[in-house]
Amino acid sequence: MTLTEEIAALKAREKAVILAHYYVPDEVQAIADHVGDSFYLAKAAAATDAQTIVFCGVHFMGESAKILNPARRVLMPDLSADCAMAHMADASQIEALRGQVKDLAVVCYINSTAELKCLADVCVTSSNAVAIVRSLPQKNILFIPDQNLGGFVARQVPEKTFYFSGGYCPVHACLLAEDVLAEKRAHPHAAVAVHPECTPEVRAAADFVGSTAEIVGYARGRGEGEMIVGTEPGVLWALRRQCPRMTFYPVTPQCADMKRNTLEGVRGCLESGRGEIVMDEALMRGARISLERMLALAK
């Protein structure tokens, strides 16, 4: 039996569904039941009635799946796959600002620990952040942890006052505007699409800014031609399959944590049950409020 056949047999035995983010290795995306961005995968995890969810992504994604669907067993191919940005805010800063600023909503990017989600009024992802922040009644917004996504939202919601915790994605923040401009000089007819986790200078050099799913949608809308891709290059697997007449030029480095998801890891967790997300009930209850509010507001 091939590794893929073994995984299919184990998946049937365990009544499992496999969810994969666009950034995991191609061969893992290829065996997944659902591939998508953070928002799509959170909804898929919340809606599934499979007994086991194998989440190919990073730790906060597995946690969010467990919080949204606690009756399911959630397994990860490598539990050590973490998102550095998920930790880049702290409770004392949030509490201090709540004391100082009236009419404040704490808006938490889903790329965050469950502990941070407990301190938030609402969660967002990169594909729903602008609409959700705009719909909030509060005038003041503390956006944690990503200052780049927060800055992107702030520009589009000028009627609100924003505060930031100063976090960033080390993968997207590596990309410099001069890298994008050099690629653009090499391919002058290429459109530039980047993720809102990129810096303001990179976003200013782009034709389109959106989540991974929105970047795939933007490319599909173009259908042909060339595109410079300013997000983790794992998304090229979907881009090349869905837009076969286009040529893509990746400019962002890989996320090493996303690449910890391997076929061997998928087989291993299904075979032995290792890599299970186990969480404290009170922590899940606290974090569920802001995650479920996101799902309700994004409808």
Q: How far is the CB of 285 from ligand SF4 (least distance, A)?
A: 25
The end-to-end CA distance of the chain, in Å, is 43
Whole-number Å distance between alpha carbons of 259 and 170: 15
Nearest C-alpha neighbor of 37 from the set 112, 125, 99, 114? 125
Interface with ligand 13P in residues 154-183 (CB under 6 A): 169
Residue 86: both structure tokens together: 């998920």
Question: What is the H or E stretch that residue 21 is in?
Answer: strand 16-21
Pick from 165, 211, 252, 261: which binds ligand 13P (CB under 6 A)? 211
Q: Hey, what are 79's tokens?
A: 């539990």
The answer to whether residue 252 forms part of the interface with ligand 13P (CB under 6 A) is no
Q: Which entry of ligand SF4, ligand 13P, none binds 84, CB below 5 to 8 A by partner kind? A: ligand SF4
CA 11, distance to chain mean position in Å, is: 24
**If binding is defined by CB under 6 A, does position 83 make contact with ligand 13P?**
yes
Tokens matching residue 23: 């950034």
Give yes or no for residue 212 binding ligand 13P (CB under 6 A): yes
Tell me phi and psi for residue 145, to 5 degrees.
-90, -10
Which 20-49 positions form the footprint of ligand 13P (CB under 6 A)? 37-38
Residue with tokens 């290792």: 274
Contact stretch for ligand 13P (CB under 6 A) within 125-133, 152-160, 175-183, 274-282: 125-133
The residue within the footprint of ligand 13P, chosen from 48, 52, 113, 125 (CB under 6 A), is: 125
Q: Which stretch binds ligand 13P (CB under 6 A): 7-15, 73-81, 119-127, 239-247?
A: 119-127
For ligand 13P, which residue of 69, 126, 148, 261 counts as binding (CB under 6 A)? 126
- In 3D space, the residue among 217, 218, 232 whose CA is nearest the CA of residue 25 turns out to be 232
Task: Please identify, among the stretches 2-10, 46-54, 124-132, 216-224, the one whose residues bind ligand 13P according to the rule CB under 6 A.
Answer: 124-132
Q: Which chain residues interact with ligand SF4 by CB under 6 A?
A: 58, 83-85, 111, 169-172, 197, 232, 255, 257-258
- CB proximity list for 37: less than 8 A, separation 6 or greater: 21, 22, 125, 126, 127, 211, 212, 213, 214
- Chosen from ligand 13P, ligand SF4, none, partner binding at 263 (C-beta under 5 to 8 Å by type): none
Task: Work out the angle between the directed axes of helices 38-47 and 281-297 (0-180°, nearest 10).
Answer: 110
Q: How far is CA 55 from the centre of its chain?
A: 13
Residue 56, binding choice from ligand SF4, ligand 13P, none, Cβ under 5 to 8 Å by partner class: none
Residue 170 contact among ligand 13P, ligand SF4, none, beta carbon within 5 to 8 Å by kind = ligand SF4
- Which residues of the shown chain bind ligand 13P in the complex (CB under 6 A)? 37-38, 83, 111, 125-127, 169, 197, 211-212
